[in-house]
Structure 1
């Protein structure tokens, strides 16, 4: 059914390459598998993949008006990895994410934050500050948090691509399944 004629409420997956499904074949991103999982559980939502590879939290702000204009019922916010990998100031990333989550909440969308972490070579002090961003914002806006999007696939053979950053199709399927318990309290049957 064309999107314009699809009456189901929107669940927007808003993020970077982890959301976009970088390196996986079309139809094998975590939003694709999430659609199948929700359909199988009787949740009538249309999952829309708004992941763009390479996006930082600042890029997320630049795309935010378009997401709000879609009038989503629920948004999974997954940003920050590219900020961290580039060593951008934590305060800037945190401020950008605050704007994203705050704007979505003000638009009456329900929000789930999907956190990410960094490889150990970024140093414990930077990683600790980086990781603290997600629970701080979840608490501030009273939204659920999946602390680490890749928690059950990172470092697991066959679940991560050779770059050790992006999930394989099999990994994306697991990520989708792991998101469901965080999402279901936000959904209506």
Structure 2
């Protein structure tokens, strides 16, 4: 009888120890990071105009982030020829329920058409208001006006992005072309990094743009994950 009780006690202790060790192992396992869902709302620069699929801005940014260990789904919301007005008209339905953050890169086509800076500002502000209402973190990517529209136009347009970023507490990247342009330059100054039209970057140019903007996208991811 005593021998049977002793055996049973040992078996119970062994099972208890095994369960305890298993629970400790589970607790010690690193937490699996959840996928971060981002939308890149933009125009042909975002869409990847003139490039094969893997060479565009979105796939190259996805690859850059993956190489640095980020589990990110980046949706290509670029539409060729889109203005800030076009972005505003589609932002609400583009922000599907799983989207947590948005890269806003619009304004280039407003410049090509010479649209009034106040119009572009109002449209971008509308986009940021939608993002704010849906609690979406934003990285606002700036554009710089060329000098041929005059100093007043340039000053008015260039001020849009930093001022709105400050007002809406978004992250801010000063210029989409920052990675390939000299200070104060235009796309025409980026020799060897542009396609034949002088407006859109080639694959090598996109790689440099991604390299420059990538840390800001990482900051966007960090904001989302920290809940700030």
TM > 0.5 fold call: yes
Match of residue 187, structure 1, among 207, 211, 221: 221
> 1:111: how far off?
0.3
Partner secondary structure for residue 128 of structure 1: helix
Q: Indicate the SS of the match to 1:113.
A: strand
Distance in 1 (alpha carbons) for counterparts of 2:69 and 2:128: 27
Matches within 5 A, 1:105-124: 105-124=132-151
Match of 2:57 in 1: 30
Structure 2: how far apart are the matches of 1:148 and 1:104?
A: 21
Unaligned stretches of 5+ residues in structure 1: 1-6
User: Corresponding residue for 1:4?
Assistant: none
Name the structure 1 match of 2:152.
125
Aligned to 1:51, which of 69, 74, 78? Answer: 78
Q: Could you tell me how far 1:164 is from its partner in structure 2?
A: 1.7
Conserved? CA contact 1:20–1:52, under 8 Å:
yes
Distance 2:59 2:53 in 1: 9
Structure 2 unaligned spans of 5+: 1-33, 182-188
Cα offset, 1:118, TM superposition? 2.7
Scaled by the length of structure 1, what TM-score is found? 0.91
Residues 117-164 of structure 1: per-residue CA shift (max 9 Å, x gap):
233222222111111000011000111111111022242222111222
Q: After the TM superposition, which of the residue ranges 40-49 and 178-187 deviates more from structure 2?
A: 178-187
Relative contact order: is structure 1 or structure 2 higher (C-alpha 8 Å, sep ≥ 6)?
A: 1
Taking the TM superposition and a 5 Å limit, the aligned residue runs for 1:27-176 are 27-154=54-181, 155-176=189-210
Find the structure with the greater CA-based Rg.
Answer: 2
How far apart, in 1, do the equivalents of 2:197 and 2:132 lie?
Answer: 34
* Structure whose residues are more often helix by fraction: 2
Tell me how many residue pairs correspond in the alignment.
183
SS of the residue corresponding to residue 137 of structure 1 reads helix
3-state DSSP class of the match of 1:14?
A: strand
2: CA distance between counterparts of 1:55 and 1:132?
A: 21
Compute the displacement of 1:185 (Å).
2.0
TM-score, with length taken from structure 2: 0.76
Cα displacement (A) at 1:70: 4.4
> Aligned partners of 1:130, 1:71: CA distance in 2, in Å?
33
Please, which of 32, 35, 41 is the counterpart of residue 14 of structure 1?
A: 41
2:6 paired residue number? none
